[in-house]
Amino acid sequence: MEIFYLIIVIILFALAISDLVVGVSNDAVNFLNSAVGSKAATFRVILIIAAAGIIFGCTFSSGMMEVARKGIFHPEHFYFSEIILLFLAVMVADIILLDSFNTFGMPTSTTVSIVFELLGAAVAFSVIKIYTQPQGLGIAEYINADKAMAIISGIFLSVFIAFTVGVIVQYFTRLLFSFNYESKMKYFGSIWGGFAIAAITYFLLVKGVKGASFMNDSIKAAVHDNAFWIISLSFVAWTIILQLILVFFKGFDIMKFIVLIGTFALAMAFAGNDLVNFIGVPLAGYNSFELYQASGEASNSFLMSGLAGKVPTPTLLLILAGVIMTITLWTSDKAKSVLKTSLDLGRQHTGTERFASYKVSRSIVRVSSKIANKVEYILPQRVKNYMLSQFDEKPFITKQVSLGAEAPAFDMLRAATTLVVASILISVGTSFKLPLSTTYITFMVFMGTSLADGAWGRESAVYRISGVLSVIGGWFFTAFSAFILAFIIATLFHFGGVFAVVAILVLAGVLIYRTNLLHKKRIAEKEEFEKTIEEGSLNRGKVLEVSAKTLNRYLGHFVRDIDAAIDGLKTENLDALTKIGKDFKPIYEQSSMLRGIANDSLDKIDEENLDVAHLYILALEYTHEMARNVNDIVNPILNYVDNNHKSFLPAQIEELKTIHTSLKEKMIATINVYKNDDQQGALDLLVQMDDFIKLIRTVRKKQIKRIKNHVIGTRNSILYLTLLGELRSMGWYASRMVKVYLDLVEGQAEKEEGDTSIESSKKEN
Confidence of residue 298 (pLDDT cuts 50, 70, 90): confident
Closest CA to 581 of 594, 569, 597, 595: 569
Domain boundaries, the chain: 2-525, 532-755
Q: What is the pLDDT of residue 29?
A: 65
pLDDT per position as a tens digit, 55-100: 877 766 554 445 555 567 777 788 888 888 888 888 888 888 877 7
In whole angstroms, what separates CA 194 from the centre of its chain? Answer: 34
Indicate if the pLDDT at residue 149 is higher than 80.
Answer: no
User: What does the DSSP 8-state code read for residue 349?
Assistant: S
Asked if residues 574 and 642 have their Cβ atoms less than 8 Å apart, the reply is yes
Instruction: Please give the average per-residue pLDDT across 453-481, as a whole number.
Output: 73
Helix (H) or strand (E) holding 223: helix 217-225
Closest CA to 607 of 535, 545, 543: 535
pLDDT per position as a tens digit, 350-383: 555 555 555 666 676 666 667 767 777 787 888 7
- pTM for the full predicted model: 0.67
Confidence of residue 753 (pLDDT cuts 50, 70, 90): very low
- Phi and psi dihedrals of 79, rounded to 5? -85, 160
pLDDT per position as a tens digit, 704-730: 888 888 888 888 888 889 899 888 888
pLDDT per position as a tens digit, 4-42: 888 888 888 888 787 777 667 666 666 777 888 788 788
What SS3 class is residue 73? strand
Burial of 362 (0-12, 13-18, 19+ CB in 10 A): middle
What SS3 class is residue 409? coil
In sequence order, what are the residues at sequence separation of 6 or more whose Cβ sits closer than 8 angstroms to the Cβ of residue 657?
566
- More confident of the two residues 752 and 540: 540
Asked if residues 353 and 460 have their Cβ atoms less than 8 Å apart, the reply is yes
Q: What is the pLDDT of residue 750?
A: 44
Asked if residues 700 and 694 have their Cβ atoms less than 8 Å apart, the reply is no
pLDDT per position as a tens digit, 300-356: 777 777 776 555 566 677 778 778 877 877 776 656 666 666 666 556 565 555 555
Asked if residues 633 and 728 have their Cβ atoms less than 8 Å apart, the reply is no
Indicate if the pLDDT at residue 583 is higher than 70.
Answer: yes
Indicate if the pLDDT at residue 464 is higher than 60.
Answer: yes
For domain 532-755, give the CATH number: 1.20.58.220
Q: What is the pLDDT of residue 74?
A: 76
Closest CA to 731 of 688, 692, 691, 680: 692
Length of the chain: 765
Confidence of residue 758 (pLDDT cuts 50, 70, 90): very low
Burial of 312 (0-12, 13-18, 19+ CB in 10 A): exposed
Q: At what angle do helices 381-390 and 145-177 cross, to 10 degrees?
A: 100
Output the CA–CA distances (angstroms, integers) from residue 266 to 207, 278, 328, 489, 704, in the order listed. 10, 18, 17, 34, 70
pLDDT per position as a tens digit, 427-439: 676 656 555 667 7
CA–CA gap between residue 255 and residue 189 (Å, rounded): 8
In our burial notation (b when 16+ CB lie closer than 10 A, e otherwise), range 707-738 reads: beeeebeeebeebbeebbebbbbbbbbbbbbb
Q: What is the pLDDT of residue 487?
A: 92
Q: What is the pLDDT of residue 532?
A: 52
pLDDT per position as a tens digit, 609-655: 566 666 677 777 888 888 888 888 988 898 888 888 888 888 988 99
Asked if residues 77 and 137 have their Cβ atoms less than 8 Å apart, the reply is yes
